[in-house]
Chains A and B, each alone.
Chain A
Amino acid sequence: MRDNKEAAIATRMDDHIISVRGLKKHYKGGAIKALDGIDTDIARGEVVVVIGPSGSGKSTFLRSLNMLEIPSCGEIFVNGVDIVGKGVNINQHRQKMGMVFQHFNLFPHMTILKNMTLAPMKLLKKSREEAEAKAMELLEVVGLADRATSYPSQLSGGQKQRIAIVRALCMEPDVMLFDEPTSALDPEMVGEVLDVMKKLARDGMTMIVVTHEMGFAREMADRVIFMDAGVIVEEGTPAEIFDAPKSERLQSFLAKVL
């Protein structure tokens, strides 16, 4: 299955779902450079894990991809359209890019089911029955079907994050962005969230994951990007990054986290 997937990626290497060119994000008139020139391409079905020390710009990079962070300059092509450009309907692009946050951000005033069906019903104009059927199907997959009528405050952190993932999936996105999805969780809950992400990766979802879970990166990533000081310092397969790091910066980072 793994081979199939690699073959699929190889044949579609020219089929980039996201292409980033010269992406920069400066604060305070350029005094702080959160991103200082990022160039990369994400292929359809690829799982990219972004690692790096805190303050390296990896979260800013991820959030730029759906314009939650507005770039100072550069281009981000999503399905061939530069979403940084003028006159782009960013809301339409965001519908196709699921996002999972460190702090879950479930809507506290709605039941789990409502959390999941709100966007499909309002934005995709699905009927209630259709949206709820899809939501229940996804809840079944993550083993939380019995919590459909619960409110977020009644769930554990791990459960909340699994709901956040399937809430994004309800919009049937082309790509999923994960911003440190396990960083706010108790250690014993990390596994259940990573399991859902692994399942998703095996199903061929395009994923960009900012994380400190090196085990996940090694096991699931097609490509690992190491960022520091707002630039991509090194990128490659998990084997290249973890077993044969070239740059000194990456070597010292890995020495600290592994």
Chain B
Amino acid sequence: MQEWFADFKADFQLNFIDDGRWRWIVQGLGNTLKITLFSLLIGIALGIMVAAVRSTYDKNKEAMSKHKGAGYHLFTVVNAICKLYLTVIRGTPVVVQLLIMYFIIFATSRNDVMIAVIAFGINSGAYVAEILRGGIMSIDNGQFEAGRSLGFNYVQTMIYIIIPQVFKSVLPTLCNEFIVLLKETSIAGYVGIVDLTKAGDLIRGRTFSAFMPLIAVALIYLVLVVVLSALVGKLERRLRKSER
């Protein structure tokens, strides 16, 4: 036991203390959190917009087609663009999207983290959009009709009656998407960004000792996910309490 502990200590010393290698982990963790947080914000913003367009179009198609105005045709085009976005983003691997962003679209930019944020944000937006749309569609149509029959317009009905119910029902699925996003950022190393995963791998490359850095990286991801889930769980319980 003592021997094992001494080995562990030496291994730890080699991988994290010597040459200040722990700084890679810190830097990597910083980049991972930065990319996750900002792409999360982009994803939510994009997701809300696309879900709003798609579900509004589906729910009001009949009413709008009655008086085909310029607005109707514009809306049809915007809806088609949203559909195309969903198809392309969900139909191709996120690694490929990241590589395309890095080597083609932003080939002249060297702001690596920003490129990753954009790539992951656009990717996540497609999934968030479909989660939200699913949530909106799962609300009984009677709730829409009750809101509209009281005299609320479409937007007011969404804000006062539908969205609060949607938010509660999609929270677990959204949380899942955020966990996936956090872990997906581990491919940022593909374009040379030192994120948490890349940092662990760099250390492994230097020390030829795989166990310590990789397990450490895995544990850090695990802790992040557990904390995130706990926070969402707390929010969920608070929302549910308001109903009993």
Q: What distance in Å separates the Cβ of A6 from its nearest Cβ neighbour in chain B? A: 30
- In the assembled complex, which residues on chain A have CB atoms less than 8 Å from the CB atom of B143? 105, 107
The proximity string for B residues 148-166 relative to A, scoring 1 for CB distances below 8 Å and 0 otherwise, is: 1111110010001100110
The proximity string for A residues 105-138 relative to B, scoring 1 for CB distances below 8 Å and 0 otherwise, is: 1111100000000110011000000000000000
- In this complex, the member of B67, B146, B164 whose beta carbon has the largest number of chain A beta carbons within 10 angstroms is B146
- Residue A56 CB within 8 A of the other chain: no
Q: What distance in Å separates the Cβ of B35 from its nearest Cβ neighbour in chain A? A: 35
Q: What distance in Å separates the Cβ of A107 from its nearest Cβ neighbour in chain B? A: 6
Would you list which residues of chain B between 190 and 244 have a CB under 8 Å from chain A?
242-244
Q: What distance in Å separates the Cβ of A206 from its nearest Cβ neighbour in chain B? A: 16
The answer to whether A105 and B164 touch (CB under 8 A), given A70-B62, A91-B153, is no
- In the assembled complex, which residues on chain B have CB atoms less than 8 Å from the CB atom of A70? 62-63, 66
The answer to whether A108 and B148 touch (CB under 8 A), given A70-B62, A151-B244, is no
- Residue B7 CB within 8 A of the other chain: no
- Residue B142 CB within 8 A of the other chain: yes
- Residue B9 CB within 8 A of the other chain: no
- In the assembled complex, which residues on chain B have CB atoms less than 8 Å from the CB atom of A91? 148, 151-153
CA distance A92 to B151 in the complex (A): 6
- In the assembled complex, which residues on chain A have CB atoms less than 8 Å from the CB atom of B63? 70
- Residue B145 CB within 8 A of the other chain: yes
- Residue B168 CB within 8 A of the other chain: yes
Chain A, Cβ-Cβ closest to B67 = A86
- Residue A94 CB within 8 A of the other chain: yes
Q: Contact at A119–B66, with CB atoms within 8 Å?
A: no
Contact of B149 among A94, A109, A118 (CB under 8 A): A94
Q: Contact at A95–B151, with CB atoms within 8 Å?
A: yes
Q: What distance in Å separates the Cβ of A63 from its nearest Cβ neighbour in chain B? A: 8
Q: What distance in Å separates the Cβ of B161 from its nearest Cβ neighbour in chain A? A: 6
Chain A, Cβ-Cβ closest to B242 = A109
- Residue A103 CB within 8 A of the other chain: yes
Contact of A107 among B67, B148, B156, B161 (CB under 8 A): B161
Q: What distance in Å separates the Cβ of B69 from its nearest Cβ neighbour in chain A? A: 9
- In the assembled complex, which residues on chain A have CB atoms less than 8 Å from the CB atom of B151? 91-92, 94-95, 119, 123, 171
Q: What distance in Å separates the Cβ of A162 from its nearest Cβ neighbour in chain B? A: 15
Contact of A99 among B66, B140, B149 (CB under 8 A): B149
Interface bracket on A: 20 to 34
Q: Contact at A168–B243, with CB atoms within 8 Å?
A: no
CA distance A107 to B156 in the complex (A): 14
- In the assembled complex, which residues on chain B have CB atoms less than 8 Å from the CB atom of A168? 149-150
Q: Contact at B142–A122, with CB atoms within 8 Å?
A: no
CA distance A108 to B242 in the complex (A): 10
- Residue A153 CB within 8 A of the other chain: yes
- In the assembled complex, which residues on chain A have CB atoms less than 8 Å from the CB atom of B146? 99, 101, 105-107
- Residue A210 CB within 8 A of the other chain: no
- In the assembled complex, which residues on chain A have CB atoms less than 8 Å from the CB atom of B153? 91
Q: Contact at B66–A123, with CB atoms within 8 Å?
A: no
- In the assembled complex, which residues on chain B have CB atoms less than 8 Å from the CB atom of A64? none
- Residue A32 CB within 8 A of the other chain: no
Would you list which residues of chain A between 69 and 120 have a CB under 8 Å from chain B?
70, 86, 91-92, 94-95, 97-99, 101, 103, 105-109, 118-119
- In this complex, the member of B62, B151, B244 whose beta carbon has the largest number of chain A beta carbons within 10 angstroms is B151
Q: Contact at A109–B150, with CB atoms within 8 Å?
A: no
CA distance A231 to B164 in the complex (A): 41
- In the assembled complex, which residues on chain A have CB atoms less than 8 Å from the CB atom of B164? 109
- In the assembled complex, which residues on chain B have CB atoms less than 8 Å from the CB atom of A171? 150-151
A interface residues with partner B (beta carbon < 8 Å)? 66, 68, 70, 86, 91-92, 94-95, 97-99, 101, 103, 105-109, 118-119, 122-123, 151, 153, 167-168, 171
B interface residues with partner A (beta carbon < 8 Å)? 62-63, 66-67, 140, 142-143, 145-146, 148-153, 156, 160-161, 164-165, 168, 242-244
Beyond A106-B146, A109-B165: 20 further Cβ-contacts under 8 Å?
A68-B148, A70-B66, A94-B150, A99-B146, A101-B145, A105-B140, A105-B142, A105-B145, A107-B143, A107-B161, A108-B165, A109-B168, A109-B243, A118-B150, A119-B152, A122-B152, A122-B156, A153-B243, A167-B150, A168-B149
Q: List 23 A-B contacts (CB under 8 A).
A: A70-B62, A70-B63, A70-B66, A91-B151, A91-B152, A94-B151, A97-B149, A98-B149, A101-B145, A103-B142, A105-B140, A105-B142, A105-B146, A107-B143, A107-B161, A108-B243, A122-B152, A122-B156, A123-B150, A123-B152, A151-B244, A167-B150, A171-B151
